[in-house]
Amino acid sequence: MTRSMRVGAVGAAIAAALVLAGSGALAAPGGTGPATAVRPGGPTTGPGTGIAPGTQFTPLASSVLTTPVPVLGSDGRRHIAYELTLTNVASFPLDVRTVRVRDPLRKATLLTLRGTALRAMMRTIDTASADVPGITTIAPSATSIVYLDVSLPRHATPPRRLAHEVVAAGAPDGTPRTFTMRLTRVTPARRAPVVLHSPLQGGRWLASEGCCTNFGHHRWGTVPVNGTLGVPQRFAIDFFRLDRRNRTWVGDPRDVHSYLSYGQRTLAAAPGKVVAVVDALPDQHPPQPPPVTPIQDSVGNHVILKVGHGVFLLYAHMKPGSIKVHLGQRLRVGQPIGRVGTSGNSTTPHLHFQVLTRRTFFPSDSTPYVFNRFRLLGQETARIWDDNLGLQPTGTIPVGPVTNPGVKRRALPLDRAVIVLR
């Protein structure tokens, strides 16, 4: 048999298996068909055989884009935020009906997405970063992404393994069928997120575009860099200074000096060594979003501080000429770094802050972190963010109450939290 004939035979075998799996002749895990195929010579799967029980051909291939790390959020719950990619390897469309995240060791379901909840958290790969209605149908040879947030009680023991079960409908032979698939398993990191002090001088701040389920250009910003798909800003926060009336700007929104964030001091949030410095880019001109910058200028004037093995702090969009540190300098906690500006891919003055896994913004992964102490005051009630902040009638953002205000320790401010940093 030639190579092309062998490949064709394998493809035909997979297609036939998918038809049988959908019909129940081959049991998908959780289905009602036989668990193993039995032949006159005995079982071909199971103990003592080369193929484990439950093994199946699946019309979806899956992967995750990071090693999940549990983190305590400002809502008092532990969050495991990551992404599951789903690629349709079949020759027919698949409509994803349900996505479940399970703890296989405890045999517990941790998260179920279906209907409206699934559509809110699922995008085709070409619309992954767009604020558009979700699409649950995956065309042949296409890939979609499901943005997952497993939310657990504060004192719950994080799972050691995460398993993914997907139920999808398709018609491989023209007849509607349902497929139940057990897909990728992942082991969450056992390490705790790095504990940081405030990266800014004290006061009232809006934590914008943060984790974990609201749409935002950080959490949903899925991009390929050097051929690798990732979410390099998954846990990034854009910090905007507020006054006691929750105003972000006062005066002319076309003037950077009208923004309360502009010129605020940035501080070393942990002791570490400066491994990158850029301080030569001009501020942008609010309130309209600037043209897309070259990739090397995307974070504007910035400092990257190495604070541990594989742990780097990024301070981005700083004011030109304000950076007070130099390459190779070792900093102590609270030492001034520079001042907030609006350089790079920035519309209005703010500090973009996050933890990186490498000493560069691209390519790198984004992992969670916690602040040693802050006070939670409330929650922004509308998505007013960098690109539309200066286009509002006034600089006042709408803020509503939260169920658990007060001092938070070793927690991550979640998206739209209004906090006091110390």
In a domain, 378, yes or no: yes
Contacts of 32 (CB under 8 A, 6+ apart): 24
Residue 147, domain CATH? 2.60.40
d(CA 115, CA 96): 10
103 and 245 fall within a common domain: no
Say if residue 123 is in the same domain as residue 171.
yes
**Chain CA centroid to CA 224, Å:** 14
Residue 337 structure tokens:
């770094």
Distance, CA of 338 to chain centre: 28
pLDDT of the residue at 11: 52
> Which tokens is 7 given?
């490949």
Distance CA 385, CA 398 (A): 12
Among 167, 186, 205, the domain boundary falls at: 186
Q: Is the distance from CB of 240 to CB of 419 less than 8 angstroms?
A: no
Q: Mark whether 168 and 279 lie in a shared domain.
A: no
Neighbouring CB atoms inside 10 A of 187's CB total 11
Tokens of 95: 């409509």
pLDDT of residue 44: 63
Residue 7 falls inside a structural domain: no
Which are the contacts of 154, defined by CB distance < 8 A and separation ≥ 6?
72, 76, 77, 78
Is 222 part of a structural domain of the chain? yes
Per-residue confidence (pLDDT) for residue 244, from 0 to 100: 97
CB proximity list for 357: less than 8 A, separation 6 or greater? 310, 311, 312, 364, 365, 366, 367
* pLDDT tens sequence across 298-333: 999 999 999 999 999 999 999 999 999 999 999 999
CATH of the domain at 214: 2.70.70.10
Cβ contacts of 217 within 8 Å, gap of 6 or more: 129, 209, 233, 385
* 39 contacts 46 by C-beta, under 8 angstroms: no
180 and 204 in a common domain: no
Segments forming the whole domain that contains residue 104: 60-186
Task: Specify if 55 maps to a domain.
Answer: no
Number of compact structural domains in the chain: 2
**Residue 123: beta bridge partners?**
145
User: Is the same domain home to 137 and 232?
Assistant: no
For residue 394, give both structure tokens.
């006034």
Q: What is the pLDDT of residues 137-160, one digit of tens each?
A: 999 999 999 999 999 999 999 999
CB 199 within 8 A of CB 353: yes
Same domain, 229 and 147: no
Residue 30 belongs to a domain: no
CB-CB contact of 298 with 221 (8 Å):
no
Pairing of strands 177-186, 162-170: antiparallel
CA–CA gap between residue 97 and residue 117 (Å, rounded)? 11
Three-state DSSP class for 201? coil
Q: Which of 47, 3, 67, 417 is nearest to 210 (CA)?
A: 417
| Residue 19 domain-assigned (yes or no) | no
**In Å, how far from its chain's centre is CA 29?**
29
In this structure, the answer to whether residues 359 and 404 fall within a common structural domain is: yes
Predicted confidence at residue 320, as pLDDT, reads 98
pTM, 2 dp: 0.91
Calpha distance 277→238 (Å, rounded): 19
Same domain, 178 and 70: yes
Helix (H/G/I), strand (E/B), else coil: 301: strand
Q: Is residue 1 part of a domain?
A: no
The answer to whether 247 and 396 have CB atoms below 8 angstroms apart is yes
The answer to whether residues 84 and 225 belong to one domain is no
Question: Two tokens at 308?
Answer: 């541990």
Does any domain span residue 289?
yes
Q: Is residue 140 within 8 Å of 15, Cβ to Cβ? A: no
Residue 411: Cβ within 10 Å count:
25
364 and 220 within one domain: yes
Rounded to whole angstroms, the Cα distance separating 123 from 201 reads: 38
Query: Which of 397, 393, 394, 395 lies closest to 378, judged by CA?
Result: 397
Do 160 and 210 have their domain in common? Answer: no
Positions of the chain with pLDDT lower than 70, given as ranges:
1-48
Neighbouring residues of 300: CB distance < 8 A, sequence distance ≥ 6: 278, 281, 293, 316, 317, 318, 341, 342, 343, 344, 345, 346
Shared domain check, 174 and 236: no
Query: Which of the listed residues 162, 186, 210 is the one where a domain comes to its end?
Result: 186
- The last residue of a domain, from among 186, 212, 238: 186
- The Cα 274–Cα 121 span in angstroms is 37
Length of the chain in terms of residues written: 422
